[in-house]
Amino acid sequence: MRTVQSREPITTGDQEPELNIFVLIDALGWEVIQGRRFLEDLLPYRRPLRTVLGFSSGAIPTILTGRPPAETGHWNLFYFDPKGSPFRWLRYLAFLPPWAMDHRVGRKLLKELGRRFLGLGPLFECCVKPSVLHYFNWVERRNIYGPAGISNSRSIFDELVSKHIPHRVYTYHDMNDHQIVNRALDDITHDRARVLFLYLSEMDMFLHTHVNDGARIGQRLDEYERDLTRLYNAASARCGSVSMTIFSDHGMTPVREHYDLVRDVEALPYHSPSDYLAVYDSTMARFWFFGDKAREAIENILSASPCGRILSDAELSGLGVLFEDRRFGDLVFLLHPGWLIAASDFNGPSWNPAGMHGYHPDDSYSDAVFLSTCRPAFRVATIKDIYQCFKAALNESHEPPCSDETGPR
Ligand SMILES: [Zn+2]
């Protein structure tokens, strides 16, 4: 959980500055807004954006830096790093039977430990079995919405700070999305910020639950429309020139099938962690192998599985997620759109979402959105391209980043 932050002191001057408002609505998919008039009058320049393979942990750093996960180092949250693992001391408890460690109480204790004492940040979740946690490290140790928050790349927040551009960043902590917009509204009347960045996170869980309920989605979008229109109007009342851009990190795909992949793998005569390690995310399974026989047997099981397919290195490279040191897996198995790993490390058995994300970016339900007051002066086709919109907002010019090169859709 994160706090509302003011990254830079808001400076004052004689001239009213232009204001650029960026709003990241987590999981707002193109398929969700298609056919709806959501903010259509205010934001006429609209298009789907191709996401990157993975989850928000990879997609948002890509948005903030304009670089793929293979360059930022931010993809899935857990990566193989037994020497650097903040939980390497857990290996001294390896004599305990797995059931004793992999209990939900153990996971909760480790979550609190990670958050409070191991410097893993307030969003740390123990999404790997505790009995093998000492093999893994955690990517998101820093606040990605602050300077130096992304491991290997400069983000928009580094740019804002280094250029001394007055800005405000609102990310969630103890407020809901409506309250975050209200906080920005309070600030806008007396601030001289040139850039506002709002991260609204609630849509993700809402769509996980209600992706098939068109009426409820409509009501929810109406609430966002009211709030964001108020924000835009207040900004316009303060500045003559305001741009607003709403975008998302990925969409949401209706879940149709479940598959117990863990059961299939654990039925083999090979054992974790001596023969292999596995992390089961909702839509993806990643494996590290310590012997050829285990590798062969698991590859055979996966190849015969109806629920997904093994991604080749060429495909991983093309998707911007091939890591030479294989920290995110010797092998990546991706579920077909609409399939879900039953009782993965990420989804407990008690959670049965109606929608999920993390499928192949070719899946149209995975498309994110780009909605803007202004026609971008450059091609905006993937979430990576949003970074160019940020950069345009940092120009010394106070003109909004518009041109006539591309049209709305
Ligand atoms: Zn989600």
Cα 123 to middle of ligand 1, angstroms: 14
Residues 356 and 208: beta-carbon distance below 8 Å: yes
pLDDT of 225-265, one tens digit each? 999 999 999 999 988 789 999 999 999 999 999 999 999 99
In the three-class reduction of DSSP (H, G, I as helix; E, B as strand; rest coil), residue 371 is classed as: strand
Contacts of 78 (CB under 8 A, 6+ apart): 127, 128, 136, 137, 138, 139, 279
What is the structure's pLDDT at 113? 62
Cα 199 to middle of ligand 1, angstroms: 14
In the three-class reduction of DSSP (H, G, I as helix; E, B as strand; rest coil), residue 355 is classed as: strand
What is the structure's pLDDT at 346? 55
Cα 166 to middle of ligand 1, angstroms: 31
More confident residue, 26 or 393: 26
Residues 247 and 405: beta-carbon distance below 8 Å: no
What is the structure's pLDDT at 397? 44
pLDDT of 11-57, one tens digit each? 334 443 489 999 999 999 999 999 999 999 999 999 999 999 999 99
Cα 18 to middle of ligand 1, angstroms: 34
Cα 387 to middle of ligand 1, angstroms: 22
Q: Give me the count of residues in the chain.
A: 409
Could you tell me the maximum CA-CA distance found in the chain, to the nearest angstrom?
Answer: 74
Kindly indicate the confidence band of residue 120, based on its pLDDT and cuts at 50, 70 and 90: low
Cα 45 to middle of ligand 1, angstroms: 26
DSSP string of 274-334, one letter each residue: TTEEEEE-SSEEEEEESSHHHHHHHHHHHHH-SSEEEPPHHHHHHTT---TT-TT-SEEEE
Cα 346 to middle of ligand 1, angstroms: 11
DSSP 381: -
Cα 155 to middle of ligand 1, angstroms: 23
Least confident of 6-15, 53-62, 286-295, 310-319: 6-15
Residues 101 and 272: beta-carbon distance below 8 Å: no
* Structural domains of the chain, with CATH: 19-70+143-254+362-393 (3.40.720.10), 256-352 (3.30.1360.180)
Kindly indicate the confidence band of residue 112, based on its pLDDT and cuts at 50, 70 and 90: low
Cα 204 to middle of ligand 1, angstroms: 5
pLDDT at 350 over 80: no
pLDDT of 274-293, one tens digit each? 999 999 999 999 999 999 99
E strand residue ranges, 139-239: 167-170, 195-200
Cα 242 to middle of ligand 1, angstroms: 31
What is the structure's pLDDT at 238? 86
Kindly indicate the confidence band of residue 402, based on its pLDDT and cuts at 50, 70 and 90: very low
Question: Average pLDDT of the chain?
Answer: 86
Cα 27 to middle of ligand 1, angstroms: 7
Determine the Cα–Cα distance for residues 339 and 316; give it in Å rounded to an integer: 20
Task: Please state whether the peptide bond connecting residue 273 to the residue before it is cis, i.e. omega within 30 degrees of 0.
Answer: yes
Burial of 362 (0-12, 13-18, 19+ CB in 10 A): exposed
